[in-house]
């Protein structure tokens, strides 16, 4: 497989050189499968096999690019892309800085995240997985929705500087299963991220769904009064907040564009709870990490927060070139963020619900439609969804209608943090907008934070 791709890149490199182009050529191939469920049926069963090529041509301070989704055997059409670059380059406006041209110093082949068994998963296996996770939980009123998305993603790069190539291949699966009441409109979910076939655990999802469905069918539903609550965040909520915080707050580009809630002088300051440590860790295979970035820089574990102290911004190559900074190996389509676990031995939803407690706790597994209200304040908003529980201090459980939270990153990960689970889980945040780009974070199974403000509470499901 890699030989075929590398041969194509070397052929295109020669075609670029023939045209006197100083060029970077990148390859992206996805073999994607998605089985979608709605109303307890398979509402869509789809697959896409797409090959994309990107050409970037450089001439001093000028840079242009051409992208194509193409038939790889149609060399004539592909080479027309190079001809287009030749036409575009003289008309490009020169940048006021010198963009770095990638020169790969060695060949890289990184297939650590590739599992042939997951790549070969069949339609029948996807269906069987969903049948298992929903077994006995559906009814005339309770309907199954969800996705089983899996695929293989291959990326590769070559530049005209030399014949060295970088080649990466990974497999991924993202499962979301939702059970919802057609009459009452409540909805609960369970999710899974997988990098290899053996990660798949339909029974684990079944257990979480069964517990949530039982509570949503049997426990009292309540409209919580607005106000402050001790909140336990599930992995989906933690991962989404962390991801958006890193994107808006911890990249050099965001800093220079004025979006970051952090400043350069914040480095080494204690801005978060001492229980919080966060890093970008390319050694984490289950996070679909890559050994090198698009410019050939070796990727190494990169601390972002160490015991509450903010460490450093992530600089992609272009931002580093423009602002005179040193790139940090972050010219990647996704970071591989890991938040360390804590000391609390609560490793399952069942354990959380059964935990002894001396106060009421609002469990929020998932935050729907999160958006940044004020980036420089690090303020976000979103609504709870998919199985929130109100764990009363007397041990009983109520089901809260969805609530809205409008809070700062520092409210979630600052001094109000009470405890973090020792157990960490990978949470898949892949988006299938455009090209397949498997990405996931590893976060504590639960994080408990006090004094989280609920600003709105729905009067019903």
Which is nearer to another protein, 33 or 413 (by Cβ)? 33
Which is nearer to another protein, 350 or 455 (by Cβ)? 455
* Angular region, 390: left φ>0, alpha ψ -120 to 50, beta rest: beta
Residue 164 contacts another protein per CB under 8 A: no
- How many of the chain's residues bind another protein (CB under 8 A)? 88
The piece of 102-110, 122-130, 212-220, 282-290 that touches another protein (CB under 8 A) is: 122-130
Residue 84 contacts another protein per CB under 8 A: yes
Which is nearer to another protein, 40 or 333 (by Cβ)? 40
Contacts of 7 (CB under 8 A, 6+ apart): none
Among residues 17, 41, 117, 120, the one that binds another protein under rule CB under 8 A? 41
Among residues 17, 60, 97, 354, the one that binds another protein under rule CB under 8 A? 97
The piece of 69-77, 202-210, 277-285, 444-452 that touches another protein (CB under 8 A) is: 69-77
Residue 51 contacts another protein per CB under 8 A: yes
Which is nearer to another protein, 99 or 303 (by Cβ)? 99
Rounded to 5°, the CA angle 442-424-420 comes to: 110
Residues within window 362-401 making contact with another protein, judged by CB under 8 A: 368-377, 381-383, 385
Which is nearer to another protein, 143 or 169 (by Cβ)? 143
Q: Which of 172, 175, 173 is nearest to 190 (CA)?
A: 175
Residue 139 contacts another protein per CB under 8 A: no
Which is nearer to another protein, 160 or 319 (by Cβ)? 319
Residue 177 contacts another protein per CB under 8 A: yes
Residues within window 185-244 making contact with another protein, judged by CB under 8 A: 185, 187, 189
């Amino acid at each position: 497989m890699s030989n075929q791709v590398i041969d194509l890149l070397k052929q295109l490199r020669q075609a670029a050189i023939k045209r006197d182009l100083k060029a970077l050529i990148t390859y992206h191939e996805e073999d994607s499968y998605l089985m979608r469920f709605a109303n307890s049926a398979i509402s869509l069963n789809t697959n896409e096999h797409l090959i994309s090529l990107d050409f970037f041509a450089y001439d001093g301070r000028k840079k242009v690019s051409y992208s194509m989704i193409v038939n790889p055997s149609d060399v004539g059409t592909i080479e027309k892309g190079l001809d287009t670059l030749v036409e575009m380059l003289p008309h490009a406006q020169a940048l006021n800085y010198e963009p770095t041209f990638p020169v790969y110093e060695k060949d890289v082949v990184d297939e650590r995240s590739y599992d042939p068994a997951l790549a070969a998963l069949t339609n029948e296996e996807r269906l069987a997985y969903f049948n298992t996770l929903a077994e006995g939980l559906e009814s005339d009123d309770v309907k199954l929705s969800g996705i089983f998305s899996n695929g293989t993603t291959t990326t590769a790069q070559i530049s005209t500087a030399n014949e060295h190539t970088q080649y990466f291949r990974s497999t991924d699966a993202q499962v979301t299963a939702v059970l919802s009441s057609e009459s009452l409109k409540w909805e609960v979910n369970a999710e899974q991220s997988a990098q290899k076939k053996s990660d798949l655990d339909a029974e684990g999802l079944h257990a979480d769904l069964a517990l949530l469905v039982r509570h949503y069918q049997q426990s009292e539903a309540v409209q919580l009064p607005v106000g402050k609550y001790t909140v336990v965040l599930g992995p989906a909520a933690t991962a989404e907040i962390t991801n958006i915080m890193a994107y808006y707050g911890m990249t050099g580009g965001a800093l220079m564009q004025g979006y970051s809630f952090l400043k350069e002088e914040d480095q080494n300051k204690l801005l978060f709870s001492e229980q919080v440590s966060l890093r970008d860790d390319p050694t984490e295979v289950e996070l679909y990490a890559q050994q090198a970035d698009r410019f050939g820089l070796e990727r190494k574990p990169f601390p972002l927060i160490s015991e509450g102290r903010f460490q450093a911004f992530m600089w992609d190559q272009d931002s580093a070139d423009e602002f005179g900074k040193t790139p940090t190996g972050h010219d990647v389509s996704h970071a591989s963020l890991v938040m360390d676990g804590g000391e609390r031995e609560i490793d399952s939803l069942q354990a959380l619900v059964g935990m002894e407690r001396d106060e009421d706790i609002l469990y929020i597994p998932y935050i729907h439609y999160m958006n940044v209200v004020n980036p420089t304040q690090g303020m976000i908003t979103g609504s709870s969804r998919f199985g929130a529980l109100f764990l009363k201090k007397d041990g009983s459980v109520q089901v809260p209608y969805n609530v809205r939270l409008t809070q700062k990153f520092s409210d979630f990960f600052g001094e109000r943090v009470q405890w973090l689970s020792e157990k960490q889980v990978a949470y898949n945040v892949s988006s299938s907008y455009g090209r397949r780009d498997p990405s996931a974070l590893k976060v504590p199974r639960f994080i408990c934070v006090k004094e989280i403000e609920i600003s709105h509470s729905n009067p019903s499901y």
